[in-house]
């Protein structure tokens, strides 16, 4: 879905007991009633579980404030993570993302292709992806490591796209062994599997991922995805048109700053 580069590590760019019933005709009636009650109990329990999962998913992306100003006292975003686009682009947009976050997956598969085609490939922006694995997603760390291990072979963005496209195969609801699925995904994107397996076993990119998380915390990231576009921090997924609006505003600020010099 696009070409990019990897910045160098550290420097680069729950049964209730049955109901006791009386004998005879009442027994059959009570059994039916008890069965119905149990069915309603389990239906209610299922609804609560679904609601709880939905709440967790919402909390994974719910910001304390959807759009806010960037803290101008912080230094510029460091050259960490992975970058796509031209060094000469006038604006860099940064995403802090979690590979197991459903909203991040929707953004990556629905909105991001337009961003790449219309904004990155045209030289308007360059796009930086920063790791922000959330503790409510048990399988996300292997996915982040897998992206880095593919990235050291020049295939970060291919792996990034494939991880999100296959999110329902390797996430916590799908498996307790995400490494196996992620290995299949890596093979499909064409990495050298011996090198990839050694990289995954070593966990050598864990410090870099932790550094990205620390940077996000420092900058007020509280959920995923969170975007930094010019002077704005957007703590929620947004459609292309809204994304473009923030880009246009930031580019106008860049032009105004250059004119004032």
Residue 114: per-residue pLDDT: 98
pLDDT of residue 46: 46
pLDDT at 261: 76
How confident is the model at residue 260, as a pLDDT? 85
pTM of the model: 0.77
The predicted structure's pLDDT at residue 40:
55
Write down the pLDDT at residue 72.
81
Domain residue ranges of the chain, discontinuous segments joined by +: 22-61, 66-260
CATH topology of domain 66-260: Glutaredoxin (3.40.30)
Spell out the per-residue pLDDT of the chain, length 261, in tens.
Answer: 444 455 544 333 333 333 223 333 333 333 334 455 555 544 444 444 444 444 344 444 444 468 999 988 899 999 999 999 999 999 999 999 999 999 999 999 999 999 999 999 999 999 999 999 999 999 999 999 999 999 999 999 999 999 999 999 999 999 999 999 999 999 999 999 999 999 999 999 999 999 999 999 999 999 999 999 999 999 999 999 999 999 999 999 999 988 887
| Backbone angles phi and psi of 68, in degrees to 5 | -145, 165
- Helix ranges (H only) for the chain are 25-61, 102-106, 112-115, 140-151, 156-165, 167-170, 178-189, 193-202, 206-218, 240-260
Is 248 exposed, middle or buried (CB count within 10 Å of its CB: 0-12, 13-18, 19+)? middle
Task: List the Cα angle 76/80/83 in 5-degree steps.
Answer: 100
Cα gap 226→208, rounded to integer Å: 19
Q: Which two tokens mark 152?
A: 């050291």
- How many CA atoms does the CB half-sphere of 242 hold within 13 Å? 11
CA atoms within 13 A on the CB side of 57: 18
């Amino acid at each position: 879905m696009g070409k990019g580069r990897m910045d160098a590590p550290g420097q680069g760019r729950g049964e209730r007991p049955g109901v006791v019933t009386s004998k005879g005709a009442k027994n059959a009636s009570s059994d039916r009633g008890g069965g119905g009650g149990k069915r309603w109990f389990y239906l209610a329990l299922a609804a609560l579980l679904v609601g709880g999962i939905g709440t967790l998913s919402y909390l994974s992306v719910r910001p304390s404030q959807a759009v806010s100003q960037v803290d101008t006292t912080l230094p510029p975003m460091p050259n960490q993570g992975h970058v796509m686009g031209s060094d000469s682009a006038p604006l860099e947009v940064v995403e802090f993302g979690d590979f197991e976050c459903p909203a991040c997956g929707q953004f990556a598969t629905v909105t991001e292709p337009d961003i790449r085609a219309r904004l990155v490939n045209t030289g308007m922006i360059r796009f930086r992806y920063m790791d922000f694995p959330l503790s409510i997603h048990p399988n996300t760390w292997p996915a982040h490591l897998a992206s880095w291990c593919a990235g050291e072979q020049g295939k970060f963005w291919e792996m990034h796209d494939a991880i999100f496209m296959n999110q329902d195969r390797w996430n916590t609801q799908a498996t307790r062994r995400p490494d196996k699925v992620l290995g299949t995904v890596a093979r499909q994107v064409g990495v050298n599997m011996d090198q990839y397996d050694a990289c995954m076993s070593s966990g050598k990119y864990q410090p870099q991922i932790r550094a990205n998380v620390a940077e996000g915390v420092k900058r007020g990231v509280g959920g995923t995805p969170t975007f930094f576009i010019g002077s704005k921090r957007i703590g929620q997924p947004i459609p292309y048109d809204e994304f473009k609006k923030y880009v246009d505003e930031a580019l106008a600020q860049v032009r105004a700053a250059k004119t004032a010099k």
